A = this chain, B = another copy of it.
Amino acid sequence: MKTLKVKDIKGNLNEEVKLCGWVRNYRKASSKLRFVIFRDGSGELQCVAFKPDMGEENFEKVKQLTIETSLEIIGIPRKHPKFDDKFEFHLKDINIINSAIDYPIGKKEHGPDFLLSQRHLWLRSRKQNAIMKIRHTVYFAICEYLNNNGFYRFDSPILTPNASEGTTTLFKVPYFDLGSAFLSQSGQLYLEAGIMSLGRVYDFGPVFRAEKSKTRKHLTEFWMMDAEAAFVEYEENMQIQEELIRFVICTVIEKNKLELELLERDVEKLKKADSPFVRMTHKEVIDLLKSKGVDIDYNDDFGAPEEEKITENSDVPIFVEKWPKEIKSFYMKRDPENPDLVLGADLIAPEEFGEIIGGSQREDNYDILHNRIKSEGYDLKDYQWFLDLRKYGSVPHSGFGVGFERLVQWMSGIRHIREVIPFPRMINRINP
């Protein structure tokens, strides 16, 4: 007798097989008929327990099942009488592996704090399971696009010495006799060394922000994909970002039909976002916000409420480009047409999901960068290696960073960032 996964049922109909998994739920229809929803990680299956088919003894075992009990099921998978793409499993016997008594997550509403404390169990819920599968798809869609476009994976370090940009949002780690290290907030500077060897590189790892924010948009530990490319300038940098995001959208729609349905994600909205992205300058956006009554100035950055307003009438993401130099990083190249602006753009997702990418062309002139580091008050010796990249064969180059969890949120339609990462870390939570 074959042992199968739920996902392989389709090719093994009408023969006796075995599956291993858990009880998602069960229902008594009559004294002779019960239904069991079985799950095994690869999918779910409705099982029919009919006493005359199973016999008295085996049917008694089915009556003992509880939610989340682990078991083997033995029986015959058949086509669902009504739906062509669904299947029913006609039980012949079951073997209980471990009975779950009083599984703590029930059907009643639980508060977020309770669920987060039970994260190790909460992950089993239909919704959390679907989100994790979409997360997997988004991760590899990003990698696939980059690998197919000449980018090499290049892992930036997490433990970094460089803290002269300001340490208020950095986690500090005592490091042997060398004093302190800091947990990385972005691998970008290291990627700029990588492109000089490999042409195009990316990292995709955890980054850390010791921010005292408690909003539904903040984690202290989250995943970021930073990409960097030699000989790519401002315009092409945005083209790469747009192609990447549209590739992710199409891949999720193709591979996660079931999960999007279960999450009641409006797929039409995702499909609409797969069209040319809109571009607005920072100044145009400020004008737009002012026209909507927002109290904001031409040198201001945006918070979440502003980001939501920017895309509220757009089906597609919006690039906000050419920011005032004062509110962007020292390494961004200045706009040759207006030296008060930088050649940088942030990408804001529609449907109130906020900023998902920040990118720019990088300053590649040694003297300009040197002076800028000095005038920012940073310690030049911390940046000497970074300046070396402008000394020995400097080239025009650009890059961008994708907030992975933000992108997963948007794809899956989940409002709280804490649900799109297996074990969220927040200012008040590092457990379990």
Interface residues of A (CB under 8 A from B): 5, 7, 20-23, 40-42, 68-70, 97-98, 100-101, 103-104, 119-121, 123-124, 128-129, 132-133, 135-136, 139-140, 143, 147, 150, 152-161, 171-178, 181, 183, 190, 193-200, 205-206, 208, 210, 212, 220-221, 223, 230-231, 364, 385-386, 388-396, 421-423, 425, 427-432
User: How many copies altogether?
Assistant: 2
How far apart are A14's CB and chain B's nearest CB, in angstroms? 24
| CB-contact partner of A172 in B174, B230, B392, B393, under 8 A | B174
A23 CB, nearest partner CB in chain B, Å: 8
Our pick among B7, B22, B68, B157 for the contact of A423 (Cβ within 8 Å) is B157
Cα of A213 to Cα of B351 in the assembled complex, Å: 51
- B5 touching A206, Cβ below 8 Å: no
Out of B20, B159, B394, B425, name the residue touching A425 (CB < 8 Å): B159
Give Cα A154 to B174, complex, Å: 29
Q: Which of B121, B123, B157 contacts A422 (CB 8 A)?
A: B157
In the complex, are the beta carbons of B132 and A100 less than 8 A apart?
no
Tell me how far the C-beta of A229 lies from the nearest C-beta in chain B, rounded to whole angstroms.
9
Contact A140 B147 (CB under 8 A): yes
A147 to B430 alpha-carbon distance, docked (Å): 29
By a CB distance below 8 angstroms, the chain B residues around A70 are 393-395
Q: CA–CA, A135 to B123, complex, Å?
A: 32
**Measured between alpha carbons, how far is A178 from B212 in the docked complex, in Å?**
13
Q: Are B230 and A150 in contact (CB under 8 A)?
A: no
Q: Judge whether B150 and A42 touch: CB under 8 Å.
A: yes
CB distance from A228 to the nearest CB of B (A): 11
Verify B393–A120 contact, CB threshold 8 A: no
User: Inside 8 A of A206's CB, which chain B residues have their CB?
Assistant: 155, 158, 205-206
Q: Which residues of B contact A98 (CB under 8 A)?
A: 364, 390, 393-395
**Nearest CB on B from A175, distance (A):** 6
Closest 3 A-B residue pairs measured CB to CB?
Answer: A41-B199, A385-B432, A70-B393
Check B196 against A392 for contact (C-beta < 8 Å): no
Contacts of A176 in B (CB 8 A): 210, 212, 427-428
What are 25 A-to-B residue pairs whose CB atoms are below 8 Å? A7-B150, A20-B230, A41-B199, A42-B150, A70-B395, A120-B193, A120-B386, A120-B388, A120-B389, A121-B193, A121-B196, A121-B388, A123-B193, A129-B198, A132-B197, A140-B147, A140-B153, A156-B423, A157-B422, A161-B432, A171-B173, A175-B430, A177-B428, A206-B206, A386-B432
